[in-house]
Amino acid sequence: MHECKQMRLVSYLAPNLFWFYKAVSDALQRSLRVDVHIAQGEFDPLDDPDLESDRYDLLFICGLPLMRFGQTAPHQLKPLVAPVMQAERYENNPIYFSDVVVRADCALHTWEDLAGTTFCYNDLGSNSGYNLMRYELLKQGQVQGFFRQVIQSGSHGRSLQWIVEGKADCAAIDSTVLEQAIQDKPELAKQLRVITSLGPSPMPPIAVSQRLGEQVIQAIQTVLLEPDVILREQIEQAKIQRFVPVDSNFYKPILEIYTTAHEMESYLIQSSVS
- At 40 the three-state DSSP class reads strand
- What DSSP element (H or E) covers 194? strand 192-202
Provide the CB-side half-sphere exposure for 237 (13 A, CA): 14
Phi, psi of 91 (to 5 degrees): 50, 40
Shortest CA distance to 131 belongs to which of 163, 172, 181, 72? 172
- pLDDT greater than 50 at residue 271: no
Report the pLDDT averaged over residues 87-112: 97
**Cα three-residue angle 40-200-259, rounded to 5 degrees:** 75
pLDDT digits (tens, 9 = 90+) for 7-56: 999 999 988 899 999 999 999 999 999 999 999 999 999 999 999 999 99
Banded model confidence at residue 3, pLDDT cuts 50, 70, 90: low
Report the pLDDT averaged over residues 59-82: 97
pTM (two decimals): 0.90
CA atoms of 4 and 136, how far apart (whole Å): 44
Banded model confidence at residue 261, pLDDT cuts 50, 70, 90: confident
Q: What's residue 191's pLDDT?
A: 98
Report the pLDDT averaged over residues 96-116: 96
**Cα three-residue angle 59-65-68, rounded to 5 degrees:** 125
Banded model confidence at residue 262, pLDDT cuts 50, 70, 90: confident
CA atoms of 186 and 192, how far apart (whole Å): 11
pLDDT digits (tens, 9 = 90+) for 27-39: 999 999 999 999 9
How far from each other are the two terminal CA atoms of the chain, in whole angstroms?
A: 49
Q: What's residue 207's pLDDT?
A: 98
- pLDDT greater than 70 at residue 2: no
More confident residue, 137 or 93: 93
CA atoms of 21 and 176, how far apart (whole Å): 14
Q: What's residue 272's pLDDT?
A: 42
More confident residue, 263 or 225: 225
Q: What's residue 45's pLDDT?
A: 95
Residues contacting 273, CB < 8 A, separation 6+: 149, 150, 151
pLDDT digits (tens, 9 = 90+) for 140-180: 887 677 899 999 999 999 999 999 999 999 999 999 999 99
Q: What's residue 274's pLDDT?
A: 37
- At 3 the three-state DSSP class reads coil
Please state, for a pLDDT cut of 90, what percent of the chain lies above it.
86
Residues contacting 143, CB < 8 A, separation 6+: 137, 264, 267
Residue type, 214: E
- pLDDT greater than 50 at residue 111: yes
Q: All domains of the chain, ordered by start, with CATH?
A: 6-87+202-255 (3.40.190.10), 95-201+266-273 (3.40.190.10)
CB 131 within 8 A of CB 258: yes
- pLDDT greater than 80 at residue 269: no
Banded model confidence at residue 97, pLDDT cuts 50, 70, 90: very high
CA atoms of 131 and 42, how far apart (whole Å): 21
Phi, psi of 33 (to 5 degrees): 55, 50
Average per-residue pLDDT in the chain? 93
